[in-house]
Every structure is written in structure tokens, then in C-alpha cells.
A = this chain, B = another copy of it.
Amino acid sequence: MTYCIAIALKEGLVLTSDSRTNAGIDQVSTYSKMARFETAPDRKIIVLSAGNLATSQAVIEQLKRDIIEQNRVNLNTSNYLSDAADYIGDVLSTRIRRHSEDQKSNFAPESTLLMAGQISGQAPQAFLIYPQGNHITTSTETPYLQIGESKYGKPVLDRFVKMDTSLADAATCALISMDSTMKSNVSVGPPIEVLIYTKDSLRFDQHYRFNEDNAFLQNLRHEWSNKLYQAFTEMPRIPEHFSTL
């Protein structure tokens, strides 16, 4: 399984991903799910992936080759990020269709992607690209997108991430969301990658990779657990006289 988050805020972008992949519980490996594209000076693009690893790798490979071979459509030729999302969606759905034809009973070639970034002069944006190739973006009310094992970590994002949340706060929230997910699903695991992109910087200068034994990550998980427990002990209990029987 996988868990990736893309948050698009007024100040910029926060991307987070875990690194655990599995083909059955007896075949677990570590792969980065965060691909950075820094080829043209006027844009920065990141792609996060969940689902079939072969499909994800094939898509990333194709995106890179289209740039190197200067094909007619590639990540550097798109005038808007939504055009880039269309293009990535085409690459993704074409690759999935190729394997859908000889599909065996339990074989699932689907991948889902998050694409985020900025083209100079435009706002930073994030997109969720479905296996069918279509995509959605964030809204003022819901400034984040998730792929993979998304439910365990959603409540904390709903509570704390608004459009005007700072990048540092959003990064902490994303790590807490990842922590909740790792606690409930062993197939999501470290290293955890975090990329913070400041609007209009056109630089990827804040990229973090936290291993399981990283002191900061361990402290954050420990602190959150303690603070939640403290909060829980202070919560009201149901008064017995409320009983409806």
C-alpha cells in the first residue's frame, strides 16, 4: 500500500509520501514514490504515485523520455499545469489499457497519481490523476488531495489544513496524518519524504527524508501521542443520569 498527500496553499505546496511497496505481504520493498522534474527553468513539477509499481515506474520513465527526446508533447511544452495533467493522464491510461487486455483474475495494473508544481507566472497547483486519465484539483475548502491508504489520515487534514495555513504547519500536519496511517496500516511505512515548495521560488530547496529511526520523526510521533493522550484524559465523560432507558 501507499499513502501520499499533496497540499496546495496560498504560500505554496507541501508534498508527502511513504516508501513502502508490497506485492502480497511476503514481498515488501522500499521505493521512493516522489519524482521531481526540474528540467525547464520556468517550472517545477512533482509526481507522486500509488498503485501498481510497474505502471507507476513506466509512466515516470515515459515522462522523462518525452523530455529527453523533445517529443511534441512533454512536461516542458505544457502552457498550463492542467495541460500537463492531461498529458500525464494520457500516458497513464494508455499504459494501464495495454495490460488490461491480458488481465488475469487478480491482476490490477491501475495506478493513481498526484501531480503538483508551478509554472512561472501562474499559481502553484495540485492534481489527482485517475487511472482513467481524468483529473481533479484542490478547492478553497479542500486544499489537499490524497492517494492510496487515505482514510486513516484524513480527519487530521480536515481539521487543520486551510488555504492560509503556513507551509511549516501544513508539513507538520501531513506528518501527523502519515503517523496515524502508519499506526493503523503496516503496509504504509518509512522512509517518509516531505517536499515543501515556496510559491514563486521555482526551487526545490526543502526536501526531507525521514528514516524510521530519525530523531525528529520519532519525537514528533511521540509528542503527538502524548498530547493526544493528555487531551483525551481531559475530555468529558457521559453523565450517568443521561441514560435514555
Give which listed residue, B172, B232, B243, contacts A235 with CB less than 8 A.
B172
Give which listed residue, B152, B171, B234, B243, contacts A227 with CB less than 8 A.
B234
Collect the chain B residues with CB atoms within 8 Å of residue A169's CB: 232, 237
Contact of B154 with A154 in the complex, beta carbons under 8 Å: no
Contact of B154 with A184 in the complex, beta carbons under 8 Å: yes
Chain B nearest CB from A230 CB (Å) reads 8
Does A207 count as interface, using CB distance less than 8 angstroms? Answer: yes
The tally of residues in A whose CB lies under 8 Å from a CB in B reads 49
A169 to B205, alpha carbons, bound, how many Å? 45
Give which listed residue, B160, B216, B225, contacts A159 with CB less than 8 A.
B225
Collect the chain B residues with CB atoms within 8 Å of residue A242's CB: 208, 216
Contact of A245 with B172 in the complex, beta carbons under 8 Å: no
Contact of B152 with A245 in the complex, beta carbons under 8 Å: no
Give which listed residue, B196, B219, B229, contacts A236 with CB less than 8 A.
B219
Q: Is the interface of A mostly helix, strand, loop or mixed?
A: helix
Give which listed residue, B152, B194, B204, B235, contacts A176 with CB less than 8 A.
B235
A189 to B124, alpha carbons, bound, how many Å? 36
A222 to B122, alpha carbons, bound, how many Å? 38
A184 to B151, alpha carbons, bound, how many Å? 8
Chain A interface residues (CB < 8 Å from chain B): 151-152, 154-156, 158-160, 168-169, 171-173, 175-176, 180, 183-184, 194, 196, 204-209, 216, 219-220, 223-225, 227-232, 234-240, 242-245
Other A-B contacts than A151-B152, A194-B238, A228-B228, 11 sampled, CB-CB below 8 A, are: A155-B155, A158-B183, A159-B183, A159-B225, A169-B232, A172-B232, A172-B237, A207-B244, A208-B242, A216-B242, A227-B235
